[in-house]
Structure 1
């Protein structure tokens, strides 16, 4: 997401546009992957000296609420943030915490329709498969 698009989204939702939010957004999208809040903090430390981890968490949570990132629980229990918000699923390694994107061949429309019939307002659906990545399985 560009700085301009994020700025417009923040303003539309009544949020302030701050340099921290813009820098964190840029970092997430330049490092197209699954990052922990600690990795984001380390990555923006030069551009945002003095930024604290709670600020990064608050920004990532805001971005999740805005649909800018997705939160993924890894097989190892670590929380990572994914700037890729299109429909896709994840493979997570329970040993090393690696997360890999998988295109979304699994049809979830039926599950979502069934949820709506029960009155549940589904906002998002994904499949997270936990197990061992190739490297960890080879060393098991």
Structure 2
């Protein structure tokens, strides 16, 4: 994706969001559509505050609670992924199972492209009496920039 969606791909993504909202009985609002579009355009892990700064350009008066509520709704609809890897909660437009790498010094979080099968971990959690929803794999260490800085 990396912010290079064609107009047809963006139109299809927005149509999917509209359909998902309607299927859940949710209103289709300009705020939800703009925030969904921004998340896809940014195409990286972002905080709600970052989304608020960008959304404010198009939606004067939008509030941080509205951005959080919308990002959480997008997560429930499968249009975003909530990533909690230490530090602020991040929202990721990449929703399929994947791992993350996090720098312990600067806090940078990136996707890590490795085959990931969360099924075994989720199965083990169920066997232990949990009702798991998701599984995250996070590799922590120092990013190249922090390692080079000393």
TM over 0.5: yes
The 10-residue stretch of structure 1 (117-126 or 22-31) with the greater mean CA deviation from structure 2: 117-126
Is the contact between residue 74 and residue 98 of structure 1 (CA under 8 Å) also seen in structure 2? no
Q: Does 1:139 align with 2:146?
A: no
Contact 1:93 1:132 (C-alpha < 8 Å) held by counterparts: yes
Structure 1 equivalent of residue 50 of structure 2 = 39
TM-score, normalised relative to structure 1:
0.89
Cα distance change, pair 126–104 in 1 and its aligned pair in 2 (3 A): farther
Q: Which runs of 5+ in 2 are unaligned?
A: 1-11
Q: Could you tell me the TM-score, scaled by structure 2's length?
A: 0.84
CA separation in 1, counterparts of 2:93 and 2:135? 16
Q: Which residue of 1 aligns with 2:79?
A: 68
Structure 1 portions without partners, runs of 5+: none
1:30 CA displacement: 1.0
Greater share of residues in helix = 2
Deviations 1:56-114 (A, max 9, x none): 11111111222211111244x12210010011010011222211101242433222222
Which of 51, 61, 67 is 2:62 aligned to? 51
> Pairwise CA RMSD of aligned residues?
1.7
**Distance in 2 separating the partners of 1:98 and 1:27:** 20
